[in-house]
Chains A and B, each alone.
Chain A
Amino acid sequence: MKPIGRTFCCMVLSAFLFLPGCVILGKSKEYKPFETAKLEELKTGESTASDVLRLFGAPSEVVKLSNGNAYVFQRTQSKGTGLILFILNMGYTNTHHDRLVCFFNDDDVLTHYGVTMDADNAAYGLP
């Protein structure tokens, strides 16, 4: 094979190997972090459902419990990574949540609450 033919072959091989590749990064946010100052305003035995709604807005979910209700406030962050190579395609999505759950008794007074701050742990990556 002439040198020009060899060069052509190398170009074709390189094109097959490298041109089809691409990387995709994506991010989805349904996310506004809970403010620490507002969390500190929550007082069990004192705060009412109205106080909690005033502080955090509409809950993501309301659950009827055996003796009262629970309001669930959730913020979500997702990150996605895609890698498209010659014949290998990979995709990875990672979703984490910040969550505040407030428990109220039948008089709508806050009895317990729990907080998990995890949304910042959403990460890009590969499978």
Chain B
Amino acid sequence: MKNHSHFAAALLAAAAGAMAQAPAVLDAAAVLEKSQAAFYYPGADMRARVVMELMTAGGKKRTRVLTMLRKNLPGARRQRYFLYFHEPGDVRRTAFLVWKYPDRDDERWIFIPAVNMTRRIAARDSRSSFVGSDFSYEDVSGRDLAADAHTLLREEKLGEAACYVIQSTPKAPAEFSRKLSWIDKVTFLPLKEEHYDARDQLARVFTADRVETAGSGKAAYPTVLKRTMKNVQSGHRTEVVFETVGYDLGIEADLFTERFLQQPPQKWVR
């Protein structure tokens, strides 16, 4: 029932949005831009030890443990990511390197320790599952805001937090037909997202389950320390916990190169 009321509200709001002045549309995009900055870009760099638990509807659980390092490059929204896997055993010491660009395809490399091989990998399909979880590559690194039309539907409280509720509709066919985002008015972090499929049925729900101002480095930022993505149709869900997080640690730019993909410095991946 809840889904239906959301849907009705969304329809009404979309209709209202279409008739409204241009600034409302701009506002929604501006809110999402601030939200991406708060969610994907805080600090000059970041390190987190990440535990992902992949759970089936039947309760079967798989676990991935990894270290994530990120560095923002000066200027446009270019970023570099380094992901190093500690668990499970079949991917231990495997590392991913991502050079992320706002205006073109990412460059991605994988290091496969069993044969000591670094490979460049194709990176176009952002809908592919990130390491077998309910999160897609796009969820992990951010969707291009220009790919969707955004409408501010309403403002409402989610729990204690005052939120903007924004609907995003893809301009070209995508894995979702529309997405609703609840953006915290203070931190601009996304607290909840609902992804609807082609038949406009609710498909996946993202929730930020624990948000704290955190950071062991020179700075602290409001951070989603626990998040969940649930596939409401299959019952499968993925919980992600940042066990430790640090910002502005002075991670060197040359870390994000082939040399360190093969053997990352102990001080960053311990």
Q: Do A and B actually bind? A: no
